[in-house]
Structure 1
Amino acid sequence: MISFLVALVLLIVGFFTYSKLMEHVFHIDDRQTPAVVHPDGVDYMPMKTWRIFLIQLLNIAGLGPIYGALAGACWGPVVYLWIVFGTILGGGVHDFLSGMMSEREDGASISEVVGKYMGRVITFIMRIFSVVLLVLVGTTFSTGPAGLLASLTPTVLNAKFWLVVILLYYLCATFLPIDKIIGKLYPIFGICLIIMALGVAGGIIFGGYQMPELWDHFANEDPNGKPIWAMMFVSVACGAISGFHATQSPMMARCITSEKEGRTVFYGAMVAEGIIALIWAAAGVSFYNGAAGLSGALAAVNNNQGEIVYQICHGLLGPVGAVLAMIGVIACPITSGDTAFRSARLTIADWFKIDQSKMTTRLFLAVPLLAVGAILSQLDFSMIWRYFSWSNQTLAMIVLWTGGVFIHKYGYPPIASLMAAIPATFMSAVSITYFFQAPECLHLSTSIAYPVGIVAAILFFCIFWWRTFIVHKDDINHELAAQAK
């Protein structure tokens, strides 16, 4: 239990220290935010900080910090290290930068932000990449809950019926003003997600369960021998660092009323997600008596993590836990799916400069997106979804490199930009290594994947350093001098 409590304290301390440094480097000021400058009553909507925080938490979380943490716990308590340091040094930085860069660019979608600082080619790639990724997320997070709802209701209400209901809800959440559905429901479900995590933590701590200590199990405990590098760092995305967050943060960047809220909303929500992931990782290895027991339990239910969540909640909290588990595994993915489609609408609108103040123009984008989602929902996503994990971390890598360029341009060069460039280098190594070693990708041996990933990451860092600090040094100095005047 000691290692769990130490990890928990580190996450909290990391928020109160490293996030302050990040805020200082970013040069937070008292400029008016997009929500204040031109509220449109639809997407640019001033909201209270606590409400934006809970919406952001549910936007980025869903079931990610639960399912991902349980998958990562199959490697043992060593996953605590990735959750803690990944959150503080990577995920928090990534989410803060993606949200605040968007805020500085008038609430622009992440594809437009990346394009401005990384070039036209990257702009086009990011636009396509973001829309495809978001539609896949939205579609996948409709079929899963539909199947679960069908299993809990009379046979006449089958999965197709619930899929139609969910897609109709997605349509409403995609084009209606953000305060009508998302602004009202998300805080409630966000609180439920937090209560569920706290209840599980209390059940493990006070229920007499033995939490394995990190120093007693500092090894790869995966029974199938899957390598920790880079498999664990891709499996545990939400709860450490996830590129999907960068597609969600711009929505809240259009709602904050002060730049000082960014630290709480973006970095704070990421730390809260890290805490939730830490709790579920600890619950997985404690409730099932170790990583091997957890792996065996997942295998017994054909890797149905929803069933594992139900077993843990019911076992620790009884009927109340069972209700919370059902709310979690049904509502949480739905609340990720609707904002995925909403983000896709905003990305396309920014891409083609389509005004979204009128309902007809919003429907013009929302209806085709949901139609594509309905068609894709009939396909088998088992293989396609495997690539999401890799593409998710690749997106995080791109956003962090963009953040490094942004900080260097407007912050305190050169050391400040390393706060983004170092985790960007790390995620480059993770993403490239995974692509070379994963079964759904090239499936090469670790003797090839490891050195290729590391060398490529070092090369990326060298290119970043050369282009940022050498090639553009004079241009940036002139620009900073002009700003000072």
Structure 2
Amino acid sequence: MNAAIALILGLIVVFIGYRFYARYIDRSVMRAQADKMTPARMYMDGVDFVPTGRNVLFGYQFKSIAGAAPVIGAIMAAQWGWLPAMLWLFAGVLFIGWVHDYTSAMISVRSEGLTFGGLSYRLISPRARGILLSFIYFYLLLVVSAFGAVVAKAVVSTGEAVVGLVVLTLAGVLAGQMIYRWKRDIVLTSAVTVVIAVGGVVAGNFLPASTFLGAFAGKIWVWAAFAFLFSYLGATLPIWQFAQPVNYVSFYIIFLGLIGGMVGAFVGHPKFTLPAFTQPVIAIGPIWPMLFVTLACGAISGWHSLVSSSGTARQLERETDARPVAAGSMFAEMMLGLLALVAASVAFAGLPQFGAAMQAGGAGGVFASGLSKLLGYLGLPARVGATFAAVLIIILAITVMQLVLRFMRLATAELVGERMPAMRNVQLATLVACLLGMVLTLSGWWQYLWVLFGGANQLMASLALLVVSIWLVSQRRKATFTFIPMLFMFVTTIGALCYTSYNLLSKVSMSVAGGGELTVGAAIGNALMGVIAIFLVIAALFLAYDGSRALIRLRTSPPTEEASAPA
């Protein structure tokens, strides 16, 4: 396979999906209206509800959903061969991914900004709300602790990225002031802040972190603390002051990397060196169900439903902006995942070298090597290309962390706010989430939790599609386009969690019997994660049962109103 041909195929999928399928659903099923009042305008508070133009909101949405996962997931999926990964990217985004993101935003907009916790309470049952919110909190804790470790390790290994990250953050804060306080033109704002951000990334090549911090630049705990402080600010400050503009400016850095990599592929048109398929023993489990939970972002990811409902839905200025913002961002993320897959497939001489690179530097190191090679076709020095790729990985992870803490704060208020009013406090709820995440990051226990990420993430996606399907039925709308993907993702996720639990508990059993090599700590971690996986399956089955009862009830009752109080 030629890298340029692979990217052209991806662009064809984007055109067909966005131009035809997404437009049909937007106009004929959801019936988006440009003049209908949105929660952002109805409840504008300058903190969570902020009417935002679709150009800025697209940048926010794309950068919010595009964490490190589309890069890491696509490269890990290459271990099954490039063809299964590519086919899942194309089919996933076309039939499930954009549908999931777009409808998650739209049903929240039509319900006055309700989160999935509030929607599950209204549409399904109080028990469903409690289970879903508890699961969401656990899932978000898993993400923030893992991404904290990703950022810390990436900065330690590439100190040249620090100056670029700090300058980009300041440029984002400046963008917020220029847009909302000084009322400057969006084109001028974008040009000024992006130039500043790119200048920071370039300057970082000559000013590594050790220049300012000496020996502290190599300490994991220093950069973990930095990542959580950054995220705390993003979670507690008004969204227009920090999270939204920082993500908006970050979008352009990611966009430059995406376009640069694609142009490099078209100029150099390198051939894939990885095989289309690998032997089953080489990969990390059977293709089904494990490929479909390993490669999530870019195809479908449950994280996106939280961004779309708890964040973007509260910022949409018009309903008709949902398609370009939510659906458009998902298609763009697929191209990012495809670029990562292409980069991994052309970077090395063959599968053995790819495997060695995965062992040495992980998926992030593989991406840095691959993107550096693609940018090299444009004349960019290898060192600068590698630094730029490292900056991309850090930006992808850290800008998601701030939103994770924001959503953990919202989930805390919904879950325990009535019994513990103090937890409705923005600062306290965020601080608790921050401390829990840091403990898991610095203790290393995030590594045990991470084995559940794929299953937990896609379980969130299937549950979001379940809530969307129930809402559509309640409004007497077509629900087949969400119900069938929901069934596929639900069965796949249950299968993946069961497979993961079996593997974890089998390793523990072998170690106890004397035939394994797990340490005591690893055995405890594996056993705990195996049990948690079982509990996730049980919780999912309870939600499926309550959801099926709600579907039956709503099919025989009058349509419900599209409004409710915001959560």
Q: Indicate the TM-score class for this superposition, using the shorter chain for normalisation.
A: 0.7 to 0.9
Say whether 1:14 aligns with 2:20. no
Deviation at 1:430, TM superposition (A): 1.0
User: Match for 1:102 among 101, 108, 111?
Assistant: 108
Alignment counterpart, residue 462 of structure 2, candidates 379, 397, 402: 397
1:228 aligns to what?
Answer: 287
Aligned Cα root-mean-square deviation (Å): 2.9
1:26 counterpart = 2:59: no
How far 1:306 sits from its partner (Å)?
1.8
Question: Does residue 88 in structure 1 map to residue 94 in structure 2?
Answer: yes
Q: How much does 1:220 deviate?
A: 4.5
1:259 alignment partner in structure 2: 319
1:190-201 maps to which residues of 2 (within 5 A)? 190-201=251-262
Residues 124 and 440 from structure 1, CA distance in 2 versus in 1: closer, same or farther, beyond 3 angstroms? farther
Tell me whether 1:314 sits opposite 2:379 in the alignment: no
Task: Give the distance between the partners of 2:143 and 2:547, measured in 1 at CA.
Answer: 34
Unaligned runs of 5+ in 1: 445-455, 481-485
Q: For the residues of structure 1 that align with 2:75 and 2:318, how far apart are their CA atoms?
A: 36
Contact 1:61 1:273 (8 Å CA) reproduced: yes
Query: SS of the counterpart of 2:240?
Result: coil
1:33 maps to amino acid: T
| Alpha-carbon distance change, 34 to 61 in structure 1, aligned in 2, over 3 angstroms | same
Give 1:43's aligned residue.
Answer: 48
Q: Which residue of 2 aligns with 1:150?
A: 156
Name the CA distance, whole Å, in 2 between partners of 1:260 and 1:353. Answer: 34
Report the AA paired with residue 6 of structure 1. Answer: L
Indicate the SS of the match to 1:257: coil
Q: Please tell me whether residue 420 in structure 1 is matched to residue 426 in structure 2.
A: no
Residues in 2 aligned to 1:174 and 1:243: alpha-carbon distance in whole angstroms: 20
Partners of 1:139 and 1:265 in 2: how far apart?
A: 28
- The letter of the residue matching 2:398 is I
1:140 Cα offset (Å): 1.8
The aligned residue for residue 165 of structure 1 is: 226
Q: Provide the rounded CA distance (Å) in 2 between the counterparts of 1:368 and 1:463.
A: 32
Look up the SS of the partner of 1:80 in the other structure: helix
> Residue 188 of structure 1: which of 249, 253, 256 is its match?
249
Once residues 108 and 388 of structure 1 are traced to their aligned partners in structure 2, the CA distance between those partners, rounded to angstroms, is 25
Tell me the alpha carbon deviations over residues 42-66 of structure 1, each in whole angstroms, 9 at most, x when there is no partner.
1111111111111111111111111
Identity of aligned residues (%): 25
Q: Is the 8 A contact 2:80 2:278 kept in 1?
A: yes
Displacement after TM superposition at 1:371 (Å): 2.0
Tell me the equivalent position of 1:406: 471
Deviates more, 1:153-162 or 1:36-45: 153-162
Amino acid at match of 2:30: F
Moved more, 122-131 or 284-293: 284-293
Shift in CA distance, 3/309, structure 1 to aligned 2, threshold 3 Å: closer
2:493 to 428, 431, 437: 431
* Alignment equivalent of 1:281, drawn from 301, 320, 341: 341
**Which amino acid counterpart does residue 21 of structure 2 have in structure 1?**
Y
Deviation at 1:314, TM superposition (A): 2.5
Call closer, same or farther: CA 1:409–1:293 in 2, change over 3 Å. farther
Distance 2:38 2:148 in 1: 34
Kept in 1: contact 2:77–2:295 (CA 8 A): yes
Residue 449 of structure 1 is matched in structure 2 by none
AA in 1 matched with 2:333: E
Q: Which residue of 1 aligns with 2:535?
A: none
The count of residues paired between Structure 1 and Structure 2 equals 454
Q: What CA distance in whole angstroms lies between the structure 2 residues aligned with 1:360 and 1:436?
A: 36
Contact 1:204 1:286 in 2 (8 A): no
Distance 1:421 1:220, change over 3 A: farther
> Residue 401 of structure 2 aligns to which amino acid in structure 1?
G
Give the alignment partner of residue 363 of structure 2, picking from 305, 309, 327: 305
Instruction: Tell me which moved more, 374-383 or 284-293.
Output: 284-293
Partners in 2 of 1:165 and 1:325 — Cα distance? 20
SS at match of 2:443: coil
Identify if the C-alpha distance between structure 1 residues 36 and 353 changes in structure 2 by more than 3 Å, giving closer, same or farther. farther
Instruction: Quote the Cα distance in structure 1 between the aligned partners of 2:352 and 2:490.
Output: 30
**Local SS of the residue matching 1:201:** helix
8 Å Cα contact 2:273-2:348 kept in structure 1: no
Query: Where does residue 450 of structure 1 map in the other structure?
Result: none
State the AA in 2 paired with 1:236.
L
CA apart distance, 1:468: 6.8
Give the TM-score, by structure 2 length. 0.74
The Cα of 1:328 is off from its aligned counterpart by 1.0
Which residue of structure 1 aligns with residue 555 of structure 2? 473
Q: Determine if contact 1:207/1:316 at 8 Å carries over to the other structure.
A: yes
For structure 2, the residue ranges without an aligned partner over 5 or more in a row are: 160-209, 376-381, 508-537, 562-567
1:112 aligns with 2:118: yes
SS, match of residue 251 in structure 1? helix
